[in-house]
Structure 1
Amino acid sequence: MANQPTNTLQLGHEYVASDEDVIIQEMVNEMQVQMERMYADKKMLRQIHTKMHGCVKAKFIIEPNLSDDLKVGVFKAAKNYHCWVRFSNSQTNPQPDKKKDIRGIAIKLMNVSGEKILNDKKNEQTHDFLLMSSETFFSKNIKEFRQTLKSSTAKNKAQLLFYFLNPKHWGVFKRLLGSLVKCDNPLNIPYWSTQPYRFGKPDKAVKYFLKPSADNTIINESLTDPYYLRFNLGQTLHNHAAKFDFFVQFQTDASLMPIEDPTVPWDSEFIKLATLEIPAQEFDSNAQMAFGENLSFNSWHALPEHRPLGSFNRARKRVYEAMSKFRHEVNGIPDVEPKDHSDFLTGTHIPELRTITHSVPTKHVNCIKSQVLVNCSKKIAFEFISSNEELPNWLKKVGMIHSALNAEVIEGPYNKVGAKRRVFFDGGHSVLEELMSYNPYANYSYKISEFTNVLKKFSTHAYGELWFDTVDDKTRITWDYTFTHKNMFYGWVLKILLPIVFKKFMQSSLENAKNYIENGD
């Protein structure tokens, strides 16, 4: 049951502090000084949500049977909007993805008719939604936030430490730590608007919420690579679509659900208005990554029916406009809104239905990894590495590890989960490989048993995983090996032996593959 109003504050009403304009201008000035210092003589990135994981094509599908009171603005009619979706980390100084951070998602709908709020973009046919991985914000108002910003943008990094050593700021520090989250994949976490928005009438305010579908298939290549969120996003979307449900929460009590204090969560009902559907696609070309970096998002680039509310949104209007203009001018790149077109979804595809199993053990095992960057497409790299016929061209003798002679398919073809092949090496050795997953041209994995070489003394099973990612318009091949061990003693032996012997074999093999693919020998 909806909460009943408990005070005289008005629903949907803003309460503007007298010194707000001065504070916002100070924030703009400090951010610009920081950006000039950080990006002197090089391309300027965003001040916040700097590290992008990907900018992908999607559809924003309005629910077909909304009640009349929900048919407002972009939700007025049951239609599908094409849109761009940008995933990011919040930190101004980009850090490895394994560190806790505020994660962001920005959605830019296209073909949205009607005049928008921003004067210089009022006739554009786009509309932005901005959400982040924290339900609430860590500062109560922009006056409190301005002190944190002043310390964090200062040239002397010690100022931020001194700021949080002050007991008066421990509440902000505690809330800040609570807003930072770990993330294995941008498609696998919920996002909130955190800030409120008008919903049609002046006394109607909502917050937005984006929840990932429980039916999404998530594929994670790594949780250690500094850019693993980009690679896990790419691995997932290569042959799988992803969906999010888009909800609103209405303000039902002006005191318990304040407009001006985003540290307070709202507890009203979640009402679904749309589905964000991200089709399977490849997004990590240099051209598309650059497009995403140059794209601008602003919560005020919206229809008046969805006007942003609250002091942080009022600050966003001026800060985002000023910083976007500053960034684009410094970089010499025009700030252009994308246009919709009938073939917008070209390059996306209906996923192939594949049986995905992924049960590589993680406890009581020894793991090693090798990588190589090859100047070719993922398709060429994948087909070469997975080919039975090509094995002798890249699995060559290194130390005590012998060369591959040929492979005999026992159960096949060797592109289906459960397929088996026996790989023969010189010296009379062989292993049995069974496909555990097969996701062309992104990844596959296999289980190894029936060793006949020296490894049979230490291990009964091993697991190989091969990952293919686009980096700088080339293909990065990552080869992961996981070995079980018969007992603790043999585990220590493998811990010493594998990095010295087997990793050298793996790296040499990948270099052989690179040389053969690029040069034909």
Structure 2
Amino acid sequence: MSNQPVNHSTPVLYSNDVETIPSDEAETIRQLEEQFRSILETTSQDYDHAVRAVHAKAHGIARGTLTIAEGLPAALAQGMFAKPGSHEAILRISTNPGDILDDSIALPRGLALKILDVQGERLPGSEGDTTQDFIMVNGPVFAAPEPKAFLKNLTLLSKTTDRAEGAKKALSGVLRAFDAVLSSVGVESATIRQLGGAPQVHPLGQTYYSQTPFRYGNNIAKFALFPVSEGLTSLTDTTIDASGKPDAIREAVREDLIEQGGTWELRVQLATDLDAMPIEDASKEWDQKASPFVTVATLVVEPQLSWEHGVTEHTDDALSYSVWHGIAEHRPLGGVNRVRKDTYKFSANFRGSFNGCPMHEPGRLAELA
């Protein structure tokens, strides 16, 4: 367990009124679904197979065990972390566009984590399941503060889906250089990285953040997954040369997970001040000095094959991830999370219908191919 100190500031208590819901949010959701549909219809026609509207390209899928820490203080022993124990888990490493792109186009890394056999009152639409999903990206903030800005970003992605890959490669090189200049003076731009200017980092060495807030039992928190085993932390500053190798990331992840597997810590950052740590602005980073991330569980992935051509694709098709797959004590909060509910469900249902493989949540890992 991490030796980081537990934040002694008083955590903000969760209540139903911590969210502010605009009167026109339903219309924003409708327009987001239109953009999701546009992306899905374009890519499914091109590939003769439906892929995700966002984070379409998987670089690896791995099975592991999440062990909840013993002796957590009361503020952290909440929700699924209230009792120590172990759970089967499956993680998916990806990049964010809705089309399958050459890995030389530099994009943020994503990691979706599904925890199995989680008991408790379920979120709406998740009744009857026993999974808890966490969707994370290797940056602490979301590229849009709220749903309408998210819609603008998704509209741009929709218009460029599966078009002019050569131009995307050239733009990616320019944006990476621009991002490097900004980073040298301590500035990061989630928008530049989303458009192709992200550093070409090895995904196994990255820290992944939920970016958006969640109910944490009686409290409110963000989540993050930190690499801690030596094999993973040695990859933190490693970049991947994808020149002439369209699936270079998948190959690198495959090689390293076969050789060493990995260990991560799942940590939470409790909200202590809603003015400084807003619910409705997903682009605002919460101050880690005011409230540090503290470990609540450890994820261990034993050495394994993370991608087998002709096999892993079927596993990927059978899985869907959503922040709304979970228990009520970890309810997603804020506008970006609210609009994910119906749009992610729409994407999963589209894939299931087009591919003739309806989505269902696994009860145990043995159910997956």
Do these two structures clear the TM 0.5 threshold for a shared fold by scoring above it? Answer: yes
**Is the alpha carbon distance of 1:276 and 1:181 closer, same or farther for their aligned partners in structure 2, counting shifts above 3 Å?**
farther
**Unaligned stretches of 5+ residues in structure 1:** 162-172, 348-521
Q: Is the 8 A contact 1:12 1:251 kept in 2?
A: no
Partner of residue 210, structure 1: 225
**Is the alpha carbon distance of 1:269 and 1:174 closer, same or farther for their aligned partners in structure 2, counting shifts above 3 Å?**
closer
Displacement of 1:68 after TM fit?
2.5
Secondary structure in structure 2 of the residue aligned to 1:243: strand
Cα deviation per residue 1:17-39 (whole Å; 9 max; x = unaligned)? Answer: 11111011111022202321332
Q: Is the 8 A contact 2:202 2:240 kept in 1?
A: no
Displacement of 1:108 after TM fit?
0.8
Find the aligned partners of 2:157 and 2:240 in 1 and give their Cα distance: 31
Alignment of 1:18-97 (within 5 A): 18-40=23-45, 42-97=48-103
Cα deviation per residue 1:468-499 (whole Å; 9 max; x = unaligned)? Answer: xxxxxxxxxxxxxxxxxxxxxxxxxxxxxxxx
Find the aligned partners of 1:188 and 1:105 in 2 and give their Cα distance: 12
Find the aligned partners of 1:97 and 1:155 in 2 and give their Cα distance: 17
Displacement of 1:148 after TM fit?
2.6
Q: Is the 8 A contact 1:10 1:254 kept in 2?
A: no
Aligned residues: 327
Partner of residue 183, structure 2: none
Displacement of 1:295 after TM fit?
0.6
Q: Is the 8 A contact 2:50 2:355 kept in 1?
A: yes
Find the aligned partners of 1:58 and 1:194 in 2 and give their Cα distance: 23
Partner of residue 335, structure 1: 359
Q: Is the 8 A contact 2:39 2:98 kept in 1?
A: no
**Unaligned stretches of 5+ residues in structure 2:** 1-6, 169-187
Which deviates the most, 24-33 or 252-261?
A: 24-33
Partner of residue 300, structure 1: 324
Secondary structure in structure 2 of the residue aligned to 1:70: coil
Partner of residue 282, structure 1: 305
Find the aligned partners of 2:302 and 2:96 in 1 and give their Cα distance: 25
Find the aligned partners of 2:324 and 2:215 in 1 and give their Cα distance: 11
Displacement of 1:67 after TM fit?
1.4
Displacement of 1:174 after TM fit?
4.8
Q: Is the 8 A contact 2:253 2:306 kept in 1?
A: no
Secondary structure in structure 1 of the residue aligned to 2:269: strand
Displacement of 1:65 after TM fit?
1.6
Find the aligned partners of 1:58 and 1:100 in 2 and give their Cα distance: 28
2:278 to 258, 263, 273: 258
Q: Is the 8 A contact 2:324 2:331 kept in 1?
A: yes
1:249 to 234, 249, 269: 269
**Is the alpha carbon distance of 1:249 and 1:38 closer, same or farther for their aligned partners in structure 2, counting shifts above 3 Å?**
same
Partner of residue 179, structure 2: none
Answer yes or no: is 1:232 the counterpart of 2:252: yes
Q: Is the 8 A contact 2:11 2:220 kept in 1?
A: no
1:181 to 166, 177, 198: 198
Find the aligned partners of 1:322 and 1:50 in 2 and give their Cα distance: 15
Secondary structure in structure 2 of the residue aligned to 1:69: coil
**Is the alpha carbon distance of 1:115 and 1:177 closer, same or farther for their aligned partners in structure 2, counting shifts above 3 Å?**
same
Secondary structure in structure 1 of the residue aligned to 2:325: coil
Displacement of 1:215 after TM fit?
1.5
The structure whose Rg is larger is 1
Secondary structure in structure 2 of the residue aligned to 1:128: strand
TM-score, normalised by the number of residues in structure 1: 0.58
Cα deviation per residue 1:70-104 (whole Å; 9 max; x = unaligned)? Answer: 22121121111111111001122332324321211
Find the aligned partners of 2:207 and 2:266 in 1 and give their Cα distance: 10
Displacement of 1:155 after TM fit?
7.1
TM-score, normalised by the number of residues in structure 2: 0.81
1:223 to 241, 255, 258: 241
**Is the alpha carbon distance of 1:113 and 1:274 closer, same or farther for their aligned partners in structure 2, counting shifts above 3 Å?**
same
**Is the alpha carbon distance of 1:90 and 1:272 closer, same or farther for their aligned partners in structure 2, counting shifts above 3 Å?**
same
Find the aligned partners of 2:275 and 2:34 in 1 and give their Cα distance: 33
Partner of residue 128, structure 1: 133
Aligned partner of 2:255: which letter? Q
**Is the alpha carbon distance of 1:200 and 1:12 closer, same or farther for their aligned partners in structure 2, counting shifts above 3 Å?**
farther
Cα deviation per residue 1:390-423 (whole Å; 9 max; x = unaligned)? Answer: xxxxxxxxxxxxxxxxxxxxxxxxxxxxxxxxxx
Secondary structure in structure 1 of the residue aligned to 2:19: coil
Displacement of 1:233 after TM fit?
1.1
Which deviates the most, 294-303 or 37-46?
A: 37-46
Find the aligned partners of 1:58 and 1:48 in 2 and give their Cα distance: 24
Aligned partner of 2:214: which letter? Y
Aligned partner of 2:321: which letter? F
**Is the alpha carbon distance of 1:97 and 1:154 closer, same or farther for their aligned partners in structure 2, counting shifts above 3 Å?**
closer
**Is the alpha carbon distance of 1:221 and 1:307 closer, same or farther for their aligned partners in structure 2, counting shifts above 3 Å?**
closer
The percentage of aligned residue pairs carrying the same residue is 27
Displacement of 1:209 after TM fit?
1.1
- Which one has more relative contact order, counting CA pairs under 8 Å at least 6 apart? 2
1:14 to 9, 19, 22: 19
Cα deviation per residue 1:359-406 (whole Å; 9 max; x = unaligned)? Answer: xxxxxxxxxxxxxxxxxxxxxxxxxxxxxxxxxxxxxxxxxxxxxxxx
Secondary structure in structure 1 of the residue aligned to 2:326: coil
Cα deviation per residue 1:400-452 (whole Å; 9 max; x = unaligned)? Answer: xxxxxxxxxxxxxxxxxxxxxxxxxxxxxxxxxxxxxxxxxxxxxxxxxxxxx
Displacement of 1:43 after TM fit?
0.3
Q: Is the 8 A contact 1:59 1:276 kept in 2?
A: yes
Displacement of 1:344 after TM fit?
8.7
Secondary structure in structure 2 of the residue aligned to 1:154: helix
Cα deviation per residue 1:236-262 (whole Å; 9 max; x = unaligned)? Answer: 111312011111111111111100001
Aligned partner of 1:306: which letter? H
Find the aligned partners of 1:319 and 1:147 in 2 and give their Cα distance: 15
Secondary structure in structure 2 of the residue aligned to 1:216: helix
Alignment of 1:399-418 (within 5 A): none
Answer yes or no: is 1:110 the counterpart of 2:116: yes
Q: What RMSD over aligned residues (CA atoms) do the two structures have, in Å?
A: 3.0
| Greater per-residue strand proportion | 1
